[in-house]
Amino acid sequence: MKEDCEKCVIRDLNSLNSVTGRELQEIAKKKSSLHIQKGEVIFSEGTSLRGVYCLRNGKCKLTKLAPNGKEQIVRFIRRGELVGHRSVISNSVAHLTVTALEEMDVCFIPKHEILELFKNNSEFSMEITKSLAEDLDEANSSIANMAQKNVRERLAESLLFFDKIFGVDKEGYISVTLTREEIANAIGTATESTIRLLSEFKKEGYISLQGKKIRIEDKVKLQHLTEGY
């Protein structure tokens, strides 16, 4: 049985909050629910998308393949976000690969339904446009950080970012499990450098580690580090 889109609290977290009840009823008829396993690719860079995915729960990484064949993590996304809308609206292939970081559920909305909303619902098209503009601002900020901040500063900033968007578990550890390679790919450095820096951060009292889990112990010092002092 399909879930009732009108009663879904997730849509309040994205551009679908501007869709009317009648439009939601149409979406409910056409959408499909998918269960995604940890490590599963939702879609790959270069593929033509048949629709948009709405994350009902869980977390994903968005990656791009560099010319040297190395994976670069561009963004992390979480519950409530839409993915694939840029390619669907622009009628282009996917620019990034989206991979689940944990077991999750998503709703798939066919391309035709999204394009109809974009053409006929001005509020929805405005919300989508704002979302695309925010994505561009975030990409520009990320490029600037790569150019202007050293790797220690980038790691500190990323740890604070993970803590902010993913939250923490009952023991205070950041609620996302990333490999050291994934963290390295997010900050643009070698895995060995990331392992060394995390060890340094632990010795300096900024963080504590338990396997792959990370807990921030001193946000103020990490924030100072991101600002270069």
What confidence tens digit (pLDDT) does each residue in 132-169 have? 888 777 776 776 666 678 999 999 999 999 998 899 99
Cβ contacts of 68 within 8 Å, gap of 6 or more? none
CATH code for the part of the protein at 5-146 = 2.60.120.10
DSSP 3-state of 217 = coil
Give percent of the chain above pLDDT 90.
Answer: 59
Residue 6 CA to residue 28 CA, distance in Å, equals: 9
Residue range(s) in the chain whose domain bears CATH number 2.60.120.10: 5-146
pLDDT of residue 226: 87
Give percent of the chain above pLDDT 70.
Answer: 90
Residue 208 CA to residue 214 CA, distance in Å, equals: 6
Question: Please, what is the Cα angle at 112 between 106 and 115, to 5 degrees?
Answer: 95
Residue range(s) in the chain whose domain bears CATH number 1.10.10.10: 150-226
DSSP class per residue in 83-146: ESHHHHHHT---SSEEEESS-EEEEEEEHHHHHHHHHH-HHHHHHHHHHHHHHHHHHHHHHHHH
CATH topology of domain 150-226: Arc Repressor Mutant, subunit A (1.10.10)
**Res 13 pLDDT > 60:** no
Residue 102 CA to residue 144 CA, distance in Å, equals: 29
Cβ contacts of 65 within 8 Å, gap of 6 or more? 45, 71, 72, 97
pLDDT of residue 40: 96
**Res 36 pLDDT > 50:** yes
Report the sign of the C-alpha dihedral through residues 14, 16, 21, 24, in that order.
negative
pLDDT of residue 1: 40
The pairing of strands 104-110 and 32-36 is antiparallel
**Res 199 pLDDT > 50:** yes
Residue 185 CA to residue 208 CA, distance in Å, equals: 21
